[in-house]
Amino acid sequence: MMLPQVDLKASDEVRLDSRGHRVRSLKQLRLSHALEFVYLRDNLLSSLEGIEILKGVKVLDLSFNDFKLPGFEPLGNCVVLQQLYLAGNQITSLASLPELPNLEFLSIAQNRLKSVCMARQPRLQVLAASRNKISTLKGFPHFPSLEHLRVEENPLLEMPHLEAASILLIGPTLKKFNDRGMPEHLSTTIHFA
């Protein structure tokens, strides 16, 4: 799975790394509008209150925190966000996740999601949703740029012809399903049907 390119040599003015510091609230941190890379994984966060200031954030890692309830509306101010990591929380719904016009990568693996209902994400290329409780494609939003879909270890995998259904749902942009290339006969048949 290839991630979108971001500047890895970021200075301290644009980078905040507070991984594993037992942070409970964003108010404990020195957030600024200049930050582009914010790593807050392995903390105790359960609310996004205060995240609105991160108008220039490109990479936001909130994995392995205590997020449970919907409450992702504050991310609507993060309009340049390209990569969002929400894996390893207790999230049950993404209904409050706003449309993020530049989001290319979204990790929602290892949560308690039963579906992938959320606002459309026009530039989303990679959706990692493995190890949830997803059992249906109903309500799956239109992602016109989606290339990689990962849904391993979900009840959804018992659905007959899941790969074909995924191609029909997502369209010709889908190149990898569960980290495997799409079978040529499926994509050709469906694209020209």
Q: From CA 172, how far away is CA 113, in angstroms rounded?
A: 26
SS3 61: strand
Q: From CA 36, how far away is CA 6, in angstroms rounded?
A: 10
Determine the pLDDT at residue 9: 54
| Digitized pLDDT (tens) for each residue of the chain, 193 residues in all | 554 444 455 578 999 999 999 999 999 999 999 999 999 999 999 999 999 999 999 999 999 999 998 899 999 999 999 999 999 999 999 999 999 999 999 999 999 999 999 999 999 999 999 999 999 988 899 899 999 999 999 999 999 888 888 888 898 999 999 988 876 655 444 444 4
Q: From CA 5, how far away is CA 109, in angstroms rounded?
A: 21
Tell how strand 105-107 and strand 59-61 pair up: unpaired
Q: In the chain, what are the domains? A: 11-193 (3.80.10.10)
Q: From CA 127, how far away is CA 123, in angstroms rounded?
A: 11
